[in-house]
Structure 1
Amino acid sequence: MDQIDAQLLSILQRDGRMTISDLSKKLALSRPSVSERLQRLQERGVIQRFSATVSPKALGRDTQLFIQVSELKRKPEEFEDFIEQNEDVLECHRVTGPVSYFIKAAVSGMDGLRMLVDELIPYGNVNTSIILKSPVENRMITPVQKPAP
């Protein structure tokens, strides 16, 4: 990955809808060259997908939280099947340490929170933390800079 690829990734993370034509102008490259770079980054798995960032609050999910699930009472596969089907869950990560899973969820107020916790209790110990503020959210990812020899 060269500096132009890094610039391309930075631009797309700010505006994933930018056209090939606009990208070529910003990068001072031909449209075919930009298209080839995009294709190569997708094939290598650097760009996983293009998507829209949607506001949970604008869709009625005004309470976001992190949930820790520990001391699982059921098989991980059974728990993960439940989590995959639950639309309140935005992210779920199986982790090492005393906590088995970290979950990020967005619910509709305290009633939504209560219902989600009630659904999770049969799977293990549940600990919730409501998100008050997110000073860093969806930070752009850039290539690791290798130290000069």
Structure 2
Amino acid sequence: MQLDELDRSLLVLLLENPRGGLREHARTLGIARGTVASRFLRLQESGVITGFGPRVSPRAFGYSMLAFVHLDLTQGYLDSVVENLADIPEVVEAYTVTGGGDLLCHVVARNPEELEVVLQRMIAVPGVQRTSSQVALTQRIPFRVLPLVKNDKWSAGRSS
């Protein structure tokens, strides 16, 4: 999908003021509400906008520990391992990666003992050969995309 400056401006508004309505964003941009609505729908349908729900902190539910777990897998087991990991609620994200390990999982736990139980559940999944984990001490930069959208190099890196 080719993104233009109007798309960029709309994305900036949505990221800076996610609770603002399309009418408010149309007024800010100086364009018709229908134009904003059609752009918004196009950005959704093309996968540029991927969600609307609130971001909920696991800490609110007592999950104060965050760990990154690298998994080494037996070849051919990736899909079944991912299906099994999806059944472990404390595994909140998983990515296939290059380098050390085949899969990188973002895991939460309430305490070190619970983290050990989660790690044991992960290693028990058929196809998982070994795990290596790192506990995060402090999040220094939270997940963000607004700086990317505002980046001056944005237009040079657009995809078609």
Q: What is the TM-score of this pair, normalised by structure 1? A: 0.87
3-state DSSP of counterpart to 1:124: strand
- For residues 70 and 138 of structure 1, what CA distance do their matches in structure 2 show? 26
- For residues 74 and 18 of structure 2, what CA distance do their matches in structure 1 show? 39
**Identity of paired residues, percent?**
22
Report the equivalent of 2:80: 78
Report the equivalent of 1:6: 8
- Tell me, yes or no, if the aligned pair for 1:16 and 1:51 is still in contact at 8 Å: no
Does 2:137 correspond to 1:132? yes
- For residues 85 and 15 of structure 1, what CA distance do their matches in structure 2 show? 34
Runs of 5+ unmatched residues, structure 1:
none
Deviations 1:86-129 (A, max 9, x none): 11111101122331100011111112201111112232211111
Q: Work out the number of aligned pairs and report it.
A: 147
Deviations 1:51-110 (A, max 9, x none): 211111012111111111114388222211111111111110112233110001111111
3-state DSSP of counterpart to 1:85: coil
Query: Aligned ranges for residues 68-147 of structure 1 at < 5 Å?
Result: 68-72=70-74, 75-122=77-124, 123-140=128-145, 141-142=148-149, 144-146=154-156
Structure 1 residues 74 and 146: CA distance shift in structure 2, 3 A: closer
Aligned residue identity for 1:133: T
- For residues 122 and 45 of structure 2, what CA distance do their matches in structure 1 show? 38
- For residues 144 and 94 of structure 2, what CA distance do their matches in structure 1 show? 18
Equivalent in 29, 50, 58 of residue 56 of structure 1: 58
User: RMSD of the alignment, in Å?
Assistant: 2.1
Structure 1 residues 138 and 15: CA distance shift in structure 2, 3 A: farther
- Tell me, yes or no, if the aligned pair for 1:68 and 1:102 is still in contact at 8 Å: yes
Structure 1 residues 35 and 89: CA distance shift in structure 2, 3 A: same
